[in-house]
């Protein structure tokens, strides 16, 4: 996947999540909003790879993950994340987002409050996770 594609997917999937929230499709909203963060992290990772260079195989393999905390490490953003966690608003948002798992797509138990909280943690204009990641992709 190209970096620009991952960036567009992140933006599109978060908008999809907002649309699904508005139509009370909370399970799908939760899944797609979290997937937007995964795409954003993969755009950050793609930035690290250089043309005409064979990337480290372990680094490539670590990219094929859905674990957001692990993807932060692969993206080289761990130190930046730890620094940002001093901000209470950002820390609360990260604590919500980091626990997202793609297997939630198989569940039909996401509440309106859970979906709203995740969506807001991702899109908050001041301390949103997607806002932060878009500065690094």
pLDDT at 80: 97
Give mean pLDDT, residues 6-12: 98
Output b/e per residue, 30-44; b: 16+ Cβ within 10 A: bbbbbbbbbbbbbbb
Q: Is the pLDDT of residue 21 over 90?
A: yes
Contact 30, 124 (CB under 8 A): no
Percent of the chain, pLDDT > 90?
A: 79
98-113, pLDDT tens digit by residue? 999 998 888 888 999 9
Kindly list the domain boundaries of the chain, sorted by start residue.
Answer: 3-134
Residue with tokens 């009370």, as numbered in its chain: 24
pTM: 0.92
Alpha-carbon distance of 15 to 26, in angstroms, equals 14
Average pLDDT of the chain? 94
pLDDT digits (tens, 9 = 90+) for 46-99: 998 877 677 788 887 778 889 999 999 999 999 999 999 999 999 999 999 999
């Amino acid at each position: 996947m190209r970096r620009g594609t991952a960036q567009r997917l992140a933006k599109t999937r978060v908008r999809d999540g907002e649309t699904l929230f508005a139509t009370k499709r909370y399970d799908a909203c939760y899944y797609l909003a979290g997937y937007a963060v995964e795409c954003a992290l993969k755009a950050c990772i793609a930035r690290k790879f250089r043309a005409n260079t064979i990337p480290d195989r372990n680094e490539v393999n670590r990219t094929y993950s859905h674990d957001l905390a692990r993807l932060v490490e692969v993206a080289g953003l761990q130190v930046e994340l730890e620094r940002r966690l001093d901000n209470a608003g950002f820390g609360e948002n990260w604590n919500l987002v980091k626990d997202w798992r793609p297997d939630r797509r198989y569940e039909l138990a996401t509440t309106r409050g859970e979906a709203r909280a995740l969506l807001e943690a991702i899109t908050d204009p001041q301390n949103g996770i997607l806002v932060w990641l878009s500065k690094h992709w």
